[in-house]
Chains A and B, each alone.
Chain A
Amino acid sequence: MDKLIIDGIETTPDPNKTVLEVARELGIHIPTLCYHKSLTPYGACRICVVETIWKGRSRLHTACTYPAWEGEVKTNSEKVIRLRKSILALMLAEAPEAEEIKELAAEYGVEKTRFRPRKEKRNKKCIMCGLCVRVCHDVMGFGAIGFENRGYRREVTPPFETYSDVCTTCGACAFVCPTGAIDLKALSDKKVRPILSEFDRNLASRPCVHIPFPQAVPNIPVIDKEHCVYFKTGGCRVCETVCGPQAVDYQQKDQIVEEDVGAVVVATGFDTLPLADLGEYGYGKYPDVIDGLAFERLLSASGPTSGEVKRPSDGKVPKEVVFVQCAGSRDPEKYCPHCSKICCMYTAKHALLYKHRVHDGQPYIFYIDVRTGGKSYEEFYHRVSEQEGVPYIRGKVSKVFPDGDKLMVWGVDTLTAKKVEIAADLVVLATAMVPSQDSQKLFSILKLATDKDGFLSEAHPKLRPVESIISGFFLAGSAQGPRDIPETVAQASGAASKVIGLFSQEKLHHEPIVAVVDEDLCSGCKVCISVCPYDAREFDEEKGIVKVNELLCEGCGACVVACPSGATQQKNLTDDQIRQMVKAVLGE
């Protein structure tokens, strides 16, 4: 016959594949429980049983183990259904708390089991499919859990029911478990540390292979090398086995890309002031003190709570939320002197959205001033404070501390000069915007000047707001100073236009004032090289003197002052010319 017929569909037999694999390729659904693509078929749960007919002989085999030999296979025959029903009924007795089994059984019309519950079994969700044990040993290479005992006394446990040293709480066991029967905390004494999602502000976990955030560019998954078991021990490689197009490449490395460019737009963004620094608000000590970005994720439909506002500590819906503006901003004594500019508006938005999500919720906003510089911003603020009735309390919060399962917030209302005490469920801090972490290192490499708060300095605050003082470098967004999205977009558009303007010229224009070196006087001491902020000087090995790159030189004159031998002068602005100008001014 040399044909394999599955549920009437003819296909070519392939002894290197199993009936399950071929059936799935054909789009035929066969239920499985103990099967996982990255593991050798085990054939234990028996739920994938199919009827095979070969040479007129009908037999029942598990599709996950049976080779795709020639013959006929029926995946839903009467016998198959009878056996699956019976097995599911046995499983319902074995694992009465496994919701997944209840659902699968219900699909087969098995609502109640005729078998008696397995009282002595410890784990009421486990169906002994062995996926956890096998993934830990065969795939991860640890072998931290195994089966104890034989037969009906079987249970999954670490060896000798004590915590295993080799367990890394990687969570593979819990991941593959089809019935949610694995409690990592019960299996190991090591702290279970889920990999926290940076994008979700640590409010949710994420897998090792992940897309860093929605709309990431490029929008493809990355492997988190720091946590990936393969990069730690050489084990796992599950992602490779499940990836259909075989796109997983463990050899990929971070690369340094060199490009010749004509202009650079510096848009390194911002970070928020590390919350750990804000001791009086209890961040780090109390899980229910969060920042605005975290609250933003809680409101998001694609966030960790699917848009339901739930507090991190116990998942309860917070009924009283205190928003603290200027957490670290406008506080020159302790934190940042500058205004973070965006907090007033986003806090107003948060309070509004919170009220809409939690109808019986009560937000409070502590503020110093409400700054609504922007089109329609003031109107929005009025809507929140007056129409929606969100109480705005003018004053600062002095202390946050726990009180039962609440957070006691102490503050002052400076308009009434009264002490305010609020028992809150959640405290949201509008933390100060600061230049992004590590940006200072980049700025010093690029030799870009910053202000006292670490934001980039523009060439001229009024006339050249998107350019740096160094030609060819442009600024965009919060790298230059706190700003919101519309402003950032506007500034970035400006910077882009400047770049286009630069590139559209046939010749590059440059101020005529540049440094020159009198070769006869230069001793080659190189002092000028170290003081030049623009890298415009280089040492000529042959002649033993320093030369000036006139294109890079901005004519600042630092070298002129530094040169001990007086060999450096500014072209078109020599000392003599300056003297003459002074004289002319004085009318001598």
Chain B
Amino acid sequence: MKKIKSIEQLERFRKEILKTRETKKQCIIIFGGTCGRSRGSEDILDAVRAEIKNQGLEERVEVRGPGCVGFCEVEPVVVLKPQEIYYPRVKTDDIPRIVAETLVEGKILDELLFSDPVSGKRCVSGDEIPFYQKQQRNLLSHHGEIEPTSIDDYIAIGGYSALVKVLSSISPVEIIDIIKKSGLRGRGGGGFPTGIKWESCRKAEGDIKYVLCNADEGDPGAYMDRSLLEGNPHSILEGMIIGAYAIGAHEGYIYVRQEYPLACEHFILALDQARDYGLLGKNILGSRFNFDVQVNRGGGAFVCGESTALMASIEGKPGEPRAKHVHTVEKGLWERPSCLNNVETWANVPLIINRGWSWYSQIGTEKSKGTKIFSLVGKVQNTGLVEVPMGITLREVIYDIGGGIRDGKKFKAVQTGGPSGGVIPEKLLHLPVDFESLTEAGSMMGSGGMIVMDEDNCMVDIAKYFINFLKDESCGKCTPCREGLVQMHAVLEDITEGKGKEEDIEFLEDLAWTISNGSLCQLGATASNPVLSTLKYFKKEYEAHIKDRRCPAGVCKALIRYWIDEKECTGCGVCFKQCPEDAIAGKLKKPHKIDESKCIKCGICYDVCKFDAVVLE
């Protein structure tokens, strides 16, 4: 491929690609992000290719293996176009039938279609599935249309047209103006207005400036950035090039976790392809604008998602935050003006340029514009990546999109904002999802993790889990965070082990004040949120642990016990066989008994008993 040296050439090239693809009337799509692959999407892709070859359909049918479908619950997913038939949970054995009957004969296989767990209705296309219906998929919309490893696919759907637009007709200052007017705010968690950040960086003194992409997504249960990088790496790169052009930077870095091998692979490939095509490097599209991006792989420290720690890590130093009274847009990477944005923020940029700030600013609320991707996980029926307009209520996300709580259990709380976020109880489910509302409720937007919890989750245990995570992930630089979290965790451990004291709640609140006010960086400053928000909304659970020595959710092992109700027990022996500690005794067809001195409270007997004879209290 020769370098594309001008804007006109790129347009011609786009048309050429489209022309070569006209012959293929049908398309079979096998989604495969990391999650899809872990559920066997690669085998399915191979099986489809083999079957297409067998049937001699290669000329007519395009086989495509794009990134994540978003609906994790039902992966692997196969979609057939142009009919838009959506087959969830596909197995390799289904492939010959899908090819022979649906692809060739056009017959819809009812038994393979998605059946909504709420209404029981069968849905033919993705659009009919409730999980997708309330979503507004702007960033994720192209995920089915492109192979992430193909720049041609991206160009074919109009990729890099935003770059063309800015290089040909929009000045850097105008770009910043557009971004400002769009109301785009940083998607990494802080929600700082992106346009203002760009403007400050543009105005900052210095010949050398950097554009950085934060792909160090470390929140447990969050994978928005990974899916974007895996599924549409060029959209992020295009955003970065536009940002660099607006700011006046010629060097860029993406800091991506080493634990995201597929994301790394796809993004590195995207960089190579963009360089080959002349979309990256010297004299981009003949515009005399130079910009290149390096990939920096992080070792997996959560704290490296913090801007200054990330920069320190790129500099080759330990990933420790530093004081940023002077902002990183003025003194960032190597003390030079640096503009750091999150993956999702960068991915929004081409959309805003292409479709205009007024389109973008119509989406969302007054202060929070656009759409936001969440990873909806936990005890909901439909787990997956959810892209929704800002301002949608939590209830809509959890019940309409997520399909409500699994197994008919009762909703208890939703945890947003990652480990530094907080829990939101049922009474606040009417809250709109935007930066301000969530912060006011004692949680935060964060990068978009949304973990739904039901009645079986113990809130003290949840707080302990997150504090344990943060204690392990604290860089250890400053005293309040390093030492405070250890002490906080120890107290939470005592409470969950039935050793809590009455003064512990006050102690936690006081320590939380120290950690929040004394810590160097935002990791520390927000680290107490899990404790503070659970205390705020679920103080009774703490009190039950401390005063009554009882775990209402039945999670904290030291505070629960299992026993067998003799009236219900049929003596079937299932529990007896499954118990790993031989703690259950009893003869066949006679009621069994649990020896509490041996019982480790693993709960296997409780799970396996078909007669509800095992009682948890």
Distance in Å: Cβ of B34 to nearest Cβ of chain A: 25
Contact A115 B479 (CB under 8 A): no
- In the complex the two chains form, what is the Cα distance from A127 to B479 in whole Å? 8
Stretch at the interface among B218-226, B317-325, B405-413, B434-442: B317-325
Report A-chain residues with C-beta under 8 Å of the C-beta of B518.
46, 49, 60, 83, 86-87
Which of B301, B483, B486 is most buried by chain A, counting CB atoms within 10 A of its CB?
Answer: B483
Contact B514 A87 (CB under 8 A): yes
- B478 interface hit (Cβ, 8 Å): yes
- In the complex the two chains form, what is the Cα distance from A47 to B517 in whole Å? 12
Report A-chain residues with C-beta under 8 Å of the C-beta of B490.
116
Within 8 A of B (CB), among A148-172: 149-154
Report B-chain residues with C-beta under 8 Å of the C-beta of A43.
322-323, 478, 520
Contact B478 A45 (CB under 8 A): yes
Within 8 A of A (CB), among B494-541: 507, 510-511, 513-514, 517-520
Distance in Å: Cβ of A232 to nearest Cβ of chain B: 25
Contact A150 B301 (CB under 8 A): yes
Least CB separation from A86: chain B residue: B514
Contact A151 B323 (CB under 8 A): no
- B550 interface hit (Cβ, 8 Å): no
- B484 interface hit (Cβ, 8 Å): yes
- In the complex the two chains form, what is the Cα distance from A83 to B516 in whole Å? 10
Least CB separation from A146: chain B residue: B318
Contact A151 B474 (CB under 8 A): yes
- A41 interface hit (Cβ, 8 Å): yes
- B482 interface hit (Cβ, 8 Å): yes
Report B-chain residues with C-beta under 8 Å of the C-beta of A62.
323, 520
Distance in Å: Cβ of B549 to nearest Cβ of chain A: 21
Report B-chain residues with C-beta under 8 Å of the C-beta of A65.
323, 325
Report A-chain residues with C-beta under 8 Å of the C-beta of B475.
150-151
Contact B483 A91 (CB under 8 A): yes
- In the complex the two chains form, what is the Cα distance from A585 to B477 in whole Å? 101
Contact A151 B471 (CB under 8 A): yes
Within 8 A of A (CB), among B337-382: none
Contact A153 B483 (CB under 8 A): no
Distance in Å: Cβ of B479 to nearest Cβ of chain A: 5
Distance in Å: Cβ of B522 to nearest Cβ of chain A: 14
Contact A44 B326 (CB under 8 A): no
Interface residues on A, range: 35 or more
- B158 interface hit (Cβ, 8 Å): no
- In the complex the two chains form, what is the Cα distance from A128 to B520 in whole Å? 14
**Pick from B487, B511, B520: contact of A116, CB under 8 Å:** B487
Least CB separation from B520: chain A residue: A43
Per-position binary interface string of chain B over residues 450-494, scored 1 when its CB falls under 8 Å from any chain A CB and 0 otherwise: 000000000000000000000111111111101111110010000
Report B-chain residues with C-beta under 8 Å of the C-beta of A150.
301, 303, 472-476
Contact B323 A41 (CB under 8 A): yes
**Pick from A46, A67, A91, A153: contact of B326, CB under 8 Å:** A67
Say whether chain B's binding surface is mostly helix, strand, loop, or mixed.
Answer: helix
Asked whether A45 and B479 contact (CB < 8 A) given A60-B517, A116-B490, A151-B471, the answer is yes
- In the complex the two chains form, what is the Cα distance from A83 to B476 in whole Å? 18
Asked whether A94 and B483 contact (CB < 8 A) given A45-B478, A128-B476, A154-B476, the answer is yes
- In the complex the two chains form, what is the Cα distance from A23 to B482 in whole Å? 28
Distance in Å: Cβ of A32 to nearest Cβ of chain B: 13
Asked whether A151 and B472 contact (CB < 8 A) given A86-B514, A118-B486, the answer is yes
Report A-chain residues with C-beta under 8 Å of the C-beta of B472.
150-151
Report A-chain residues with C-beta under 8 Å of the C-beta of B478.
43-46
Report A-chain residues with C-beta under 8 Å of the C-beta of B325.
61, 65-67
- In the complex the two chains form, what is the Cα distance from A114 to B480 in whole Å? 14
Report A-chain residues with C-beta under 8 Å of the C-beta of B471.
151-152
- In the complex the two chains form, what is the Cα distance from A128 to B486 in whole Å? 15
Report B-chain residues with C-beta under 8 Å of the C-beta of A49.
518
- In the complex the two chains form, what is the Cα distance from A116 to B520 in whole Å? 23
Least CB separation from B303: chain A residue: A150
Least CB separation from A60: chain B residue: B517
Contact B520 A44 (CB under 8 A): yes
Contact B474 A44 (CB under 8 A): no
- A90 interface hit (Cβ, 8 Å): yes
- A147 interface hit (Cβ, 8 Å): yes
Distance in Å: Cβ of A339 to nearest Cβ of chain B: 66
Contact A90 B318 (CB under 8 A): no
Least CB separation from B323: chain A residue: A65
- In the complex the two chains form, what is the Cα distance from A94 to B490 in whole Å? 14
- A482 interface hit (Cβ, 8 Å): no
Per-position binary interface string of chain A over residues 61-84, scored 1 when its CB falls under 8 Å from any chain B CB and 0 otherwise: 110011100000000000100010
- In the complex the two chains form, what is the Cα distance from A495 to B478 in whole Å? 68
Asked whether A46 and B318 contact (CB < 8 A) given A87-B480, A90-B483, A90-B487, the answer is no
Least CB separation from B321: chain A residue: A43
Report A-chain residues with C-beta under 8 Å of the C-beta of B326.
67
- In the complex the two chains form, what is the Cα distance from A116 to B476 in whole Å? 18
Asked whether A128 and B479 contact (CB < 8 A) given A43-B322, A46-B518, A60-B518, the answer is yes
- A144 interface hit (Cβ, 8 Å): no
Contact B479 A90 (CB under 8 A): yes
Report B-chain residues with C-beta under 8 Å of the C-beta of A66.
323, 325
Per-position binary interface string of chain A over residues 475-495, scored 1 when its CB falls under 8 Å from any chain B CB and 0 otherwise: 000000000000000000000
Distance in Å: Cβ of A159 to nearest Cβ of chain B: 12
- In the complex the two chains form, what is the Cα distance from A149 to B325 in whole Å? 27
- In the complex the two chains form, what is the Cα distance from A49 to B514 in whole Å? 12
Per-position binary interface string of chain A over residues 116-134, scored 1 when its CB falls under 8 Å from any chain B CB and 0 otherwise: 1010000000011010000
Distance in Å: Cβ of B43 to nearest Cβ of chain A: 38
Contact A154 B479 (CB under 8 A): no
Instruction: List, sorted by A's number, 11 A–B pairs whose CB atoms are closer than 8 Å.
Output: A42-B477, A43-B323, A44-B520, A61-B325, A79-B517, A86-B480, A87-B518, A90-B479, A127-B479, A150-B473, A151-B476
Q: 8 shortest A-B CB distances, which residue pairs?
A: A65-B323, A154-B476, A151-B474, A90-B483, A86-B514, A151-B476, A152-B486, A43-B323
Interface residues of B (CB under 8 A from A): 301, 303, 318, 322-323, 325-326, 471-480, 482-487, 490, 507, 510-511, 513-514, 517-520
Q: Told that A91-B483, A152-B476 touch, could you supply 19 new A-B pairs with CB distance under 8 A?
A: A41-B323, A42-B477, A43-B520, A44-B479, A45-B478, A45-B479, A46-B478, A67-B326, A79-B517, A83-B517, A90-B484, A147-B318, A150-B301, A151-B472, A151-B474, A152-B474, A152-B483, A153-B476, A154-B476
